[in-house]
A and B are shown apart, each in its own frame.
Chain A
């Protein structure tokens, strides 16, 4: 034999890959007879099922909110738009929240993209690098004037998000933890913080001040600067309590002292 010319392997793979995902299409000549064999479905099914299984594993709260059947049907559409680009399927579906936001059948479930974002943040926290969490005692030892100029760097596994439109955190947390709570959900804006100072991802709700504070810390603001921004976001924020909470759950990894020690800043 050699009907296959140089470059034939690439053409075969182009045609095979296309036939995998577009069953209706008449396959290119290189794989036409293959795609017509009933056994071709084994490859089609394995590829699509592998992607859907990965999405279902990566988006457990979304799957729980909509039910398995709905989830897998939606996921099958997503798979055809966006195959994995990375064989570590834990990372598959980075655009799934955006997909859900424009997915017509999900239009009456406005909280779904937010729940997907938190599922994604959970995965990011779970797989992030390891880092020793900042010891609250190390911060407590600082003199007040020193404290104001220090920068607290969020822990490498910490993730947070603010949701203006819906109580996404409450919806997500109840469904993530198999909670039996069935009392009404207060429909209000909400933020969420996920931390993984050691092995296990933990989560807590965060108000607008908390989210703004962490944003500022991540941007390199001093503690005084971050506190000011937090107070602008929520003027009755209790910054001491917020810091105690964040340090207590391991939301910070390290601290650095501002180079500009002369700048007079006071901790509110």
Chain B
């Protein structure tokens, strides 16, 4: 990776013009590659234009690495083609499955973390890295269900996956914050135990209580500002890891670009704090 990334923003089509024009120092953008897997037209042209001004990260949602089958070779090929075209600063995916027996379920679905699953996922991550010719980062998803039959805890599973495949990790702090009360563990303990070495990227986002179950179930909705508790967790993490590329995700109830940029500046200030202390 040649570009040093600081704090970035998820990029939505509504913000293309503002994003393209934004002069913020070190600003980078992340997109879902699936939205740009087209032969041509304005979508690709927009992304290429952004790429001429800012680093871009491809954050995939559909490699379905945790499915008990190889990733769809056509999808992998399209991802590789887009990566060739955009030359992203980072490529990431999720510890989850979505495509199964030819059907795509637009979500990040859970699974029991068994030895069998680890073998399969390590094989899938290796295939993806081979096809892309680079290291990718794997993200901890949000959890809602108490699944029986886990042989590994998530941190142990991700660490072993990184060890076996050489992949990096993407730590989504909001996902930890949401999953902790949903499954009954401590978010602080999780963040403190996460291996810092493989962390290539950090995600921050907003969440909301489930409309039916209320605070008994937090949902990783990406439709709100980053919560103060999540900022605190993030600062706790950065004190341990030092600066790492950090991205604010926002997919719904989109505010104007300036509002998102202010959140991004917040993350940027947190990232610069350890540097300031060291200076």
A106 close to B (CB within 8 Å): no
Please, how many angstroms separate the alpha-carbon atoms of A14 and B97 in the complex? 12
Known pairs A39-B182, A43-B144; A83 contacts B116 (CB<8 A) = no
A37, A50, A90: the one contacting B38 at CB < 8 Å is: A90
A46 close to B (CB within 8 Å): yes
A1 close to B (CB within 8 Å): yes
Report the nearest A residue to B67, measured CB to CB.
Answer: A13
A203 close to B (CB within 8 Å): no
Selecting from B146-154, B160-168, B193-201, the interface stretch reads: B146-154
Q: Mark A139-157, 1 if CB is under 8 A from B, else 0.
A: 0000000000000000011
Query: Which residues of chain B (186-242) have a CB below 8 Å from chain A?
Result: 210, 212-213, 217, 219
Q: Mark B94-120, 1 if CB is under 8 A from A, else 0.
A: 000111111111110101101111001
Query: Which residues of chain A (40-56) have a CB below 8 Å from chain B?
Result: 40-43, 46-47, 50-51, 54
Q: Which residues of the partner chain A approach B213 to less than 8 Å between Cβ atoms?
A: 38-39
Selecting from A4-12, A69-77, A185-193, A218-226, the interface stretch reads: A4-12
Please tell me if the beta carbons of B116 and A87 are within 8 angstroms of each other in the complex.
no
B residues neighboring A (CB under 8 Å): 34-35, 37-43, 45, 61-62, 67-69, 75, 78, 97-107, 109, 111-112, 114-117, 120, 144-151, 182, 210, 212-213, 217, 219
Known pairs A2-B151, A85-B103, A89-B106; A42 contacts B210 (CB<8 A) = yes
Please tell me if the beta carbons of B41 and A196 are within 8 angstroms of each other in the complex.
yes
A residues neighboring B (CB under 8 Å): 1-4, 6-10, 12-14, 16-17, 20, 33-34, 37-43, 46-47, 50-51, 54, 83-90, 126-131, 156-157, 196, 199-200
Known pairs A6-B116, A39-B144, A42-B217; A83 contacts B105 (CB<8 A) = yes
Please tell me if the beta carbons of A17 and B105 are within 8 angstroms of each other in the complex.
yes
Please tell me if the beta carbons of B105 and A20 are within 8 angstroms of each other in the complex.
yes
Please, how many angstroms separate the alpha-carbon atoms of A14 and B69 in the complex? 12
Q: How many inter-chain contacts with C-beta < 8 Å in the A-B complex?
A: 134
Please, how many angstroms separate the alpha-carbon atoms of A86 and B77 in the complex? 13
Q: Which residues of the partner chain B approach A128 to less than 8 Å between Cβ atoms?
A: 39-41
Q: Which residues of the partner chain A approach B75 to less than 8 Å between Cβ atoms?
A: 87
Report the nearest A residue to B99, measured CB to CB.
Answer: A87
Please, how many angstroms separate the alpha-carbon atoms of A85 and B4 in the complex? 37
Please, how many angstroms separate the alpha-carbon atoms of A40 and B275 in the complex? 43
Report the nearest A residue to B62, measured CB to CB.
Answer: A87
| Given A17-B103, A37-B146, A200-B42, 20 new contacts (CB under 8 A) | A1-B151, A2-B114, A4-B114, A9-B68, A13-B67, A13-B111, A14-B100, A37-B145, A39-B213, A41-B212, A86-B104, A87-B106, A88-B37, A89-B106, A127-B41, A128-B41, A130-B39, A130-B40, A130-B41, A157-B41
Please tell me if the beta carbons of B61 and A87 are within 8 angstroms of each other in the complex.
yes
Sample 17 A-B pairs with CB under 8 A, ordered by A number: A4-B114, A9-B112, A9-B114, A9-B117, A13-B111, A14-B101, A34-B145, A34-B147, A37-B146, A43-B107, A87-B34, A87-B37, A88-B34, A126-B41, A127-B43, A156-B40, A157-B41
Q: How far is the CB of B3 from chain A (nearest CB, A)?
A: 27
Known pairs A12-B112, A51-B106; A4 contacts B149 (CB<8 A) = yes
Report the nearest B residue to A40, measured CB to CB.
Answer: B145
Please tell me if the beta carbons of B68 and A13 are within 8 angstroms of each other in the complex.
yes
Please tell me if the beta carbons of B109 and A43 are within 8 angstroms of each other in the complex.
yes
Please tell me if the beta carbons of A127 and B120 are within 8 angstroms of each other in the complex.
no
Q: How far is the CB of B161 from chain A (nearest CB, A)?
A: 15
Please, how many angstroms separate the alpha-carbon atoms of A264 and B249 in the complex? 65
Please tell me if the beta carbons of A46 and B112 are within 8 angstroms of each other in the complex.
no
